[in-house]
Amino acid sequence: MNIHVHTRGWFVRFTSALFVAFLLVAPLASPAAAQSQTAPSPSDRIDLVGLVTQQPKPDSPPSDVQFQATVNYHLDSVPSGSVMLFLFENTASDSTQDSSNAIPIQRGNGQLVLNIDYTLRPDVKTLTLVAGVFKPQQKLLAWVSTNPINMAPWPGRVFFEKAMADRLANNFTDAEQQLTQAIAQAPDTGNYYYWRADTRVRMQNYTDAMTDFNKSLDLMPKDRPSRVGRGIAELWLDNPQAAVDDLSVAISATPSPDRISAWAFRARGLAYASLGQSDHAVSDYNQYLTLTPNAPDHDQVTGWIADLSS
């Protein structure tokens, strides 16, 4: 099923009470983390069970995006009704909607896949999809919404995907160029700076990598991978104490050590070794091996421990 939302046309206004309720229960979320919110209803309901964002066509402009929403519905209070899909820009209370695309449904259960092709405008930072079940005369029976979807990274997505493919092929020069294009399209997307920084580390361009890690942490202050990456770049730039500081933040930021913690322990061990703090280095190397018992460099790190313990 296709529902096309145009940038100009007939406006559909939900009741103010409905929209206020929507704003109160819908915190910010990315497309991958979009969650549904449903209004209570004794007999009719609609649930969002899937949401995919993609380019409408492979050669579409970077600003074009297609939303594909899968909804399950239950209609009980009336013999027939319809389902409509709405798109809200930022915090607007109006959605632009072609009413002729209402999808008729009958009493009972069913599933619909709804598409909206949309061209992102520079002033639009978030988009929210709202699906509703209506009875005749467009009286709303039940509704469901995504959380506001952060659209800031979208314009650079095409370049980002090409960069990831280049990285998989170990073509880091082209990956860096693609990520630079992604950043030009979406300059406030911290992940793009992180991946360019990581790519530059692999190219041994540690000074420019530091600049990118600084920017990614400006945009994502709590991002642990960026913190670890900057610590590693500082280590290569012969600043082990700064590396210890960053890596310690990444390690202490989570109560449950994970793979990010493991790499932070390994890098901090190297930093401590550079500072002549052998006991701390051995402790961190052991933590790394405990967290990654099948690490490909297990024998190498074991050798480092033996050298520092002798």
Per-residue pLDDT band at 157 (split at 50, 70, 90): confident
Which region among 29-43, 46-60, 119-133, 194-208 has the lowest average model confidence (pLDDT)?
29-43
Q: Which residues contact 1 (CB under 8 A, 6 or more apart)?
A: 103, 112, 113, 114, 115
Per-residue pLDDT band at 55 (split at 50, 70, 90): confident
pTM over 0.75, yes/no: no
Q: Which of 230, 223, 303 is nearest to 271 (CA)?
A: 230
Average confidence (pLDDT) over 43-66: 86
Distance CA 171, CA 174 (A): 6
Q: What is the pLDDT of residues 117-156, one digit of tens each?
A: 888 888 888 999 999 999 988 789 999 999 998 888 888 9
Domain 11-150: top CATH class? mainly beta
Q: Which residue has the tokens 């913690």?
A: 261
Structure tokens at 227: 């913190």
Helix (H) or strand (E) holding 96: strand 94-96
The ranges assigned to domains in the chain are 11-150, 154-309
Chain centroid to CA 246: 24
Which region among 32-46, 49-63, 123-137 has the lowest average model confidence (pLDDT)?
32-46
Q: What are phi and psi of 57, to 5 degrees?
A: -140, 155
Among 1.25.40.10, 3.30.9.10, 3.20.20.60, 1.20.1260.10, name the CATH number for the domain at 154-309.
1.25.40.10
